[in-house]
Amino acid sequence: MRRCKICQKEAVVFFKSHRISLCEEHLKSFVEKRVKEAIKSHKMINRGEKILIAVSGGKDSLSLWQILTNLGYEADGMFIDLGIPGFSQESWEKCEKLSRRLSRKLFKTSLEEIFGMNLLDIAKLERRVPCASCGMIKRYIMNNFALKNGYKVIATGHHLDDECSILLGNVLNWQVEYLRRQDPSLKEENGFVRKIKPLVLCSEEEIENYARVMNIDHVGKGCPLSKGATSHFYKSIMNQIEEKMPGTKLRFYKGFLKIKKDTFGDEKPAELKPCIRCGYPTTAEICSFCRLHERIKTKISQQNPEKMEEPLS
């Protein structure tokens, strides 16, 4: 029987990368301590700031919500219903359940309300894979909501495995601009709220175990539209390396953050101006969100000419 390295009680987990066995209680404090460390070292949250968490119903964002609440932060959730059959409703229910347990606010909006169609219909209309529009839409909605409702920070549940897979992709393709921008804390500027990733020092395995011992009910599977995504392939490569050489993921990511500025230079501030339709910061006259909205309105009015007079919200 393995024993907890800290209290000698029966261990429930062994983390190979840290060569440490932990009991339930110390697993919980281990993960929360790492989140605290990430928040502190990357100056993610200032005292008294309200945080808006992008919750999806998965283990990562819901664990983040639990952790930030346990650490004493005022964190509320925002769920964007993408309208994915057999997935979005269950995801919403898991978020609702945790919001009740934490007694924190949970907001919801849906693509159906905003565009009059779900993500799959948008993808069909755009003739692109759903993920191509999804990220931009979610970023826009979250930022706008945060600005209008007094949230200074948007937090997402990206963990170490996510960041390593993004980093590997950026390095393999030498995406220097993306490498400059890959950061656990993107400061607020030009109408963008600060965006933080407090789980970056925790591996997916650590978060999975945290969710289990904290009884966080979550959707078991990821978004069904992510099948075949390159990020899954990069993650499996990183897992194979980690298996042979425990601790690689953390070294890879922390090493990158250390050399990032000297190697890739400072981020060049993009020349942004407010979108002439909605005021969102953009490099073009009209932002991508408004352009998408326009295309959808045109398509709907072509299909239902009688609805042409009815403006979409």
For residue 276, the 8-state DSSP code is T
Which residue bears the tokens 């110390």?
Answer: 26
Tell me the C-alpha distance between 300 and 303, whole Å.
Answer: 5
> What does 226 interact with, of ligand SF4, Zn ion, none (CB < 5 to 8 A by kind)?
ligand SF4
CB of 235 to ligand SF4, least distance (A): 13
Among 278, 297, 299, 312, contact with Zn ion (rule: CB under 5 A)? 278
Provide the token pair at 122. 């948008």
Least distance to ligand SF4, CB of residue 6, Å: 37
Q: Which residues contact 291 (CB under 8 A, 6 or more apart)?
A: 284
* Nearest Cα to Cα of residue 278 among 266, 292, 264, 268: 292
> With respect to ligand SF4, which residue has the nearer C-beta, 28 or 139?
139
Cβ proximity to Zn ion: between 142 and 179 the closer is 142
Distance CA 78, CA 304 (A): 32
The yes or no reply on residue 238 touching ligand SF4 (CB under 6 A) is no
| Site membership for ligand SF4, residue 223 (CB under 6 A) | yes
Q: Which does 225 bind (CB under 5 to 8 A by kind): Zn ion, ligand SF4, none?
A: ligand SF4
Nearer Cβ to Zn ion (9/16): 9
- Residue 20 DSSP label: E
Among positions 155, 280, 292, 296, the unique one binding Zn ion when judged by CB under 5 A: 280
CB nearer Zn ion, residue 181 or residue 291: 291
* Residue closest to 152 by CA, chosen among 74, 217, 239, 96: 74
Please tell me whether residue 226 binds ligand SF4 under the rule CB under 6 A: yes
The smaller minimum CB distance to ligand SF4, of residues 93 and 310, is found at 93
Query: What DSSP designation does 206 have?
Result: H
**Residue 186, amino acid:** L
The helix (run of H) or strand (run of E) holding residue 79 is strand 75-81
Which of Zn ion, ligand SF4, none lies near 137, with the C-beta cut-off 5 to 8 A by kind?
A: none
118-147 residues near ligand SF4, rule: CB under 6 A: 130-131, 134-135
Residue 255 is a binding residue for ligand SF4 (CB under 6 A): no
Non-local (6+) Cβ contacts of 281 within 8 A are 190, 191, 192, 272, 273, 274, 275, 287
Retrieve residue 65's tokens.
Answer: 């919500």
Q: How far is the CB of 250 from ligand SF4 (least distance, A)?
A: 25
Q: How many whole angstroms separate alpha carbon 136 and alpha carbon 118?
A: 15
Task: Kindly state the smallest distance separating residue 229's Cβ from ligand SF4, in Å.
Answer: 7
CB of 131 to ligand SF4, least distance (A): 3
Residues 274-313 that bind ligand SF4 (CB under 6 A): none
Residue ranges that bind ligand SF4, judged by CB under 6 A: 130-131, 134-135, 223, 225-226
